Structure 1
Amino acid sequence: MSHSPQKKSLHPRNIHGIGYDFKKLTARNPALKDYIVLTPAGTESIDFGNPDAVFELNKSLLQKYYEIEYWSILKNSLCPPIPGRADYIHYLADLLAEDNNETVPKGKRVRIMDIGTGSSCIYPILGQRLYQWSFVATEIDINAIHHVQSILKNNPNLKNNIDVRLQENKENIFTGVIEKGEHFQAVVCNPPFFKSREDNWSKSTKKFHNLNKKPGAMPVQNFGGHPNELWCEGGERQFVRTMIYQSMEYKEQLGWITSLLSDKKNLKPLVAILEYHKAKAVKIIPMTQGNKTIRILAWKWS
């Protein structure tokens, strides 16, 4: 059999809800063949505890479904799971449709900002290929920016639709990357989740042992990640709190400001801040992928 099982609860427009067709994927990326394994049920899959396997799967998906012929990530960078990242984009499209007579707006006039794009530039890539939006992608790591620029250079269908900008001040999120007179219909962000290196290692080790049952196996993060991608002081709650306060300074230039939240406990205190400061609208959008639920926190000021 060439299909993996259907993905649970992905967005209705998410093409990856039908599972992975490994015959088609390996036809586009033969390197993926080396990582295919059979599940106890007899279906094809990959070892999701192997970062190389995860990378080749995501590369294959981008080639097959999004016409991205050249894509890579910096060594040890986060390797984003494409189905879940596409879900964020689809739910954002639904959010924008609410302000557009229930029609998803498409085309480069729809401008989106991606906070912390990383070396993968995954949200701008998916947003451009799915809905033809244009993006400003920000990043504090100059090496990641150079890498993204090489991706854009080698994919002509992206080159004129994604602008990558260096955030020189790590304390700022919007100041220094938003230019005077610019307006963005939405902001997307996948904030650093962990509070510290130790917090990262503890939780990643637990996850690894849940995935890998081999005795004595050494923990490895299947999705990788540089320090600035994985942790910051205060973790995701503090990062999004900073986003909220700093976004208030750009009320006239930003539409929906959104961020992923992995920890449900962070929702209540963040929503309380938004309500106290009288945000015009606040939404919590759950995304269920398999047995895991994460949320998009969305707000706008005007």
Structure 2
Amino acid sequence: MPPSSTTKSTERSYYDGDVDFDELAAKDADFAAICKVSKDKRWVDFQDPNVHRQLTKSLLKCHFGLTIELPNDRLCPPVPVRWNYIHWIQGLLDTTSDTYTDRYDPSREVLGLDIGVGASCIYPLLACANRPEWRMAGTDIDQHSLDYARKNVTANGLEQRIRLKLSETTEAPLIPLDAMRVEEMDFVMTNPPFYSSGEDMQASYTGKSAPPSAVCTGAENEMICPGGDVGFITRILDESLKLRGRVQWYTAMLGKMSSLQTIISKLKEHGITNFAVTCLQAGYRTKRWAVAWSFRGYRPRNDVARHGELVLGVLPTANAQTIKVQGISKEVVGRKIDELAKELDVKWQWRDHMGMGVMEVKENVWSRAARRKKKFADQGNGGGVPKPEMEKGESSGEDEEAVGLAVKIMCKDEEVELRWLRGLDYVLFESFCGLIKRALVGGR
């Protein structure tokens, strides 16, 4: 029975290892029927397309309550890496909300776009099956794939939350917000063709010690496009430079580390500093990467922005700093931070029982020049006016441009963590961290 459009499945974490075939076979007789057993070890023949399709169907059925139909002549998507991509996007959105809570908000409505849904429609299905307030749009240039995708949406009772559209020309915008009559969107995702030509695809296998881990059933338009994954994602980047904050997160999967490095370089060339990267590896062989960027100021939590096994050159600026405060109790540290923040011209909320505070400010107000300017202003208006405080658990509600920096300060045993919540200026964040460090350990 297909899942209800309002039923939330159990939240699952990343796939971080190979699929447990014994566990899956115990849950699904169809999967058990295609398994082979040798020396008491269950295994499957990944070079058999029927086996590959059954594994995908069984994982979706047992782990997500989804049912799909897959044509023989289109790509059969491995589930683990696809789920890891969706789960990472969940983390991006959960840790970049205007509530600054860093956790999943079941009431938050989310709208996403999958560019190239394919016959399986796997990304919209996974996104909506797991989060009941999420809605998805999907596009594809292949009518045959779109026909199957629509069948899969209907089979799972998600017609009201997943809308699919044919991209009639390859020159049409990849992110057709205006054509869809959508003003803003929470995220865009794509799993583009990795290769620029048949020769490029063949060359990717040359020299490897082992053959591809699974048979490829993908059609040419699913595997090859001009410029490969870099060319496709560059088109999305170019469109994002025009759309900017109309989409909170632009994301894309890549097939090679070199492709990821190229895209990161392009982001930096355009001055895009708020980006995140992940390695989506789910087993011992398959390794994919994803990148996300945003023109808005909300910063993802550090473990989301720099997730998985990555090389130093692709990492974004750290969104957190830790100050060691050995020999000082959490209560004393918290009191010092609270007193310091109250002296500054900032919006400040302190929760003493949690040892945690959130600060918002438009600009640097802690430099000597800024403090001197405030002192003169206060003297001129009779001593100044009380500073407003934020509502519990919420940001100040000011527009994006008005908040130059937001930081969450958390007092822990023998250390203080400063979490960069919002802002596009790293120098401003670093300056504030320096202020707190001097107040806590300066002169010791």
The Cα shift of 1:207 comes to: 7.1
The correspondence for 1:67, drawn from 65, 69, 77, is: 65
Shift in Å at residue 210 of structure 1? 2.5
| 8 Å Cα contact 2:150-2:164 kept in structure 1 | yes
So what's the TM-score if we normalise by structure 2?
0.58
- The structure, 1 or 2, with the larger RCO (C-alpha pairs under 8 Å, 6+ apart) is 1
2:31 counterpart of 1:38: no
Shift of 1:66: 1.6
Q: Which has a greater percent of helix?
A: 1
Q: Following the alignment from structure 1 to structure 2, what is the Cα–Cα distance between the partners of residues 18 and 234?
A: 31
Distance 2:270 2:33 in 1: 53
Unmatched tracts of structure 2, length 5 or more: 1-10, 297-444
Aligned to 1:273: 266
State the secondary structure of the residue aligned to 1:210.
coil
Q: What is the CA-CA distance between 1:204 and the residue it aligns to?
A: 5.4
Contact 1:174/1:246, CA 8 A, preserved across alignment: yes
The residue aligned with 1:82 is 79
Structure 2 residue corresponding to 1:93, chosen from 75, 83, 90: 90
Q: Check the 8 A contact 1:61/1:82 in 2, yes or no.
A: yes
Residue 298 (structure 1) aligns with: 292
C-alpha spacing 1:222/1:207, structure 2 compared with 1 (3 Å): farther
Deviation at 1:233, TM superposition (A): 1.5
163-172 or 265-274: which moved more?
265-274
Deviation at 1:259, TM superposition (A): 0.5
Q: Is the 8 A contact 2:233 2:252 kept in 1?
A: yes
- In the TM superposition, 1:215-230 aligns within 5 A as 222-230=215-223
- Residue 55 of structure 1 and its aligned partner are, at CA, apart by 0.4
1:34-80 Cα shifts (integer Å, max 9, x gaps) = 4212355x3212111221111001111111222223x1122221111
Distance 1:159 1:301 in 2: 31
What letter is aligned with 1:295? W
1:283 aligns with 2:276: yes
Q: Deviations over 1:259-299 (max 9, x none)?
A: 11121112233222212222251122122232443211110
Deviation (angstroms), 1:151: 1.3
- Structure 1 residue 136, shift from structure 2 partner: 0.4
Distance (Å, rounded) in 1 between the aligned partners of 2:187 and 2:212: 35
- Matching residue's letter, 2:293: W
The answer for unaligned runs of 5 or more in structure 1 is 1-10, 213-220
Q: 2:152 is matched with which residue?
A: 151
Equivalent residue, structure 1, for 2:313 = none
Check conservation: 2:24, 2:31, Cα contact below 8 A. Answer: no
Answering whether residue 240 of structure 2 is matched by residue 247 of structure 1, we say: yes
Alignment of 1:1-302 (within 5 A): 13-14=13-14, 17=17, 19-22=19-22, 24-25=24-25, 28=28, 30-39=29-38, 42-69=40-67, 71-100=68-97, 101-106=101-106, 109-132=109-132, 133-156=134-157, 158-171=158-171, 172-175=173-176, 178-203=179-204, 210=211, 222-289=215-282, 290-302=284-296
Residues 165 and 83 of structure 1: CA distance in aligned 2, closer, same or farther (over 3 Å): same
Size of the aligned set, in residue pairs, is 280
TM-score by length of 1: 0.83
User: Quick one: structure 1 residues 254 and 268, their matched pair in 2 at CA, closer, same or farther if it must change by over 3 Å?
Assistant: same
**Identity, % of aligned pairs?**
24
